Amino acid sequence: MVTPVSILDDSEFRSKIDPSGLIERLQKFPEHCRQAWELSHKIDLPPEYSKAKNVVISGMGGSAIGGDLLSDLAALEPTLPIEIHRTYDLPAYADESSLIIATSYSGNTAETLSGFRRAIERNTMLVVITSGGILAQEAVTANIPTFSFDFTGEPRSALGYSLIGPLGIMVRLGLISDKKPDLDDALESLTCQISQSIGHDVPAESNPAKALALSLENKLPVIYGGGFFEGVARRWKTQFNENSKVWAQWEILPEAHHNAVSGLKLPKALRDLATVILLRPEPIHPSIAWRYEITEELLESVDISFCDVAGAGNNPLSQILSTVLLGDYTSYYLALLQGIDPSPVSAIESIKQRLSE
């Protein structure tokens, strides 16, 4: 008898639904992170880049999310402000004292190309992160330092490169403290997490990612994150959109307590569909920790289902990576439950095609 649980544990079914092997790219996430760190220490960086006054990461979609996670990590120590720029051109303040990191997996993202070209016009400090395309070609022509990586897959699956690449570059420039010990610890934990907890070979009965996916079937995931999990919450939301092909929303604490909580009661149909996932890092500001408890009370009072996901790891980087990976696997398993190939994003490709006409 075919059941949701048996579907998640069926390797033959998984291969049929996931012909491109997205699951293999998930498994290689620790390896991608390790490669990215090594590559970030091989590119030539002008010494004057270490004098940057601010950092702007120009990117979209799966290429930009690494910037969100890096910004959350950097905010834990005294360092430069990091802005994630998700549109054309650059912020008006970006000038010769700014370090612009233009990141595009394909190298053909229109918004990122626009920001890259504006950075050259303004003579900013500039680094490119890409696997090829127009961006790589123009970077070579303009003699711009380029973090080039070889990867075949979805932009969102290249997160190891789009996060650890710029992290390594900022460490080398002295713009953020050395994260090598934290990364080594994180990668060891990630490998164990995949093989012993959330990987496809771990049965559903003892696999938290599969269990969470089962609880989210035919539900609307609403992700809450606070502290250095703001970007993680956004990542979970977008992975549900792209991998699972479902509606999903995300909120940030404490901001949600100043607006979102007012809309919990209506419409009732949506309230019945929603499941709130509370992503909780450690440590976190005591007042925000208290807000998580208050949020649970509010959800209980209006009969909205919810679950807690506590950050696991010995340091913030480890917690960010492990919680991101849990969300990635959960969204993958949810796609399997729905019989949907998690890899293609036809709506996104259709928009790109229309814009190119």
Neighbours of 73 (CB within 10 A): 24
The model's pTM: 0.96
Given 12, 258, 297, 357, the catalytic residue: 258
Measured distance CA(318)–CA(315) in Å, rounded: 5
Least confident of 78-82, 211-215, 217-221, 316-320: 78-82
pLDDT digits (tens, 9 = 90+) for 219-273: 999 999 999 999 999 999 999 999 999 999 999 999 999 999 999 999 999 999 9
- Estimate to the nearest angstrom the gap between the alpha carbon of 289 and the chain centroid: 23
Q: Tell me the percentage of the chain whose pLDDT exceeds 90.
A: 96
Burial class (CB in 10 A: 0-12, 13-18, 19+), 215: middle
Average pLDDT over residues 95-110: 98
Given 154, 230, 242, 251, the catalytic residue: 242
Give the chain's domains with CATH numbers.
24-178 (3.40.50.10490), 198-337 (3.40.50.10490)
How high is the mean pLDDT of the chain? Answer: 97
- Check if 41 is active-site: no
Measured distance CA(192)–CA(313) in Å, rounded: 12
Measured distance CA(348)–CA(18) in Å, rounded: 19
Given 28, 219, 257, 352, the catalytic residue: 352
Measured distance CA(326)–CA(64) in Å, rounded: 19
- Check if 210 is active-site: no
Measured distance CA(348)–CA(135) in Å, rounded: 20
**Which band of pLDDT confidence, cut at 50, 70 and 90, is reported for residue 1?**
low
**299 φ/ψ angles, rounded to the nearest 5 degrees:** -65, -40
- Check if 180 is active-site: no
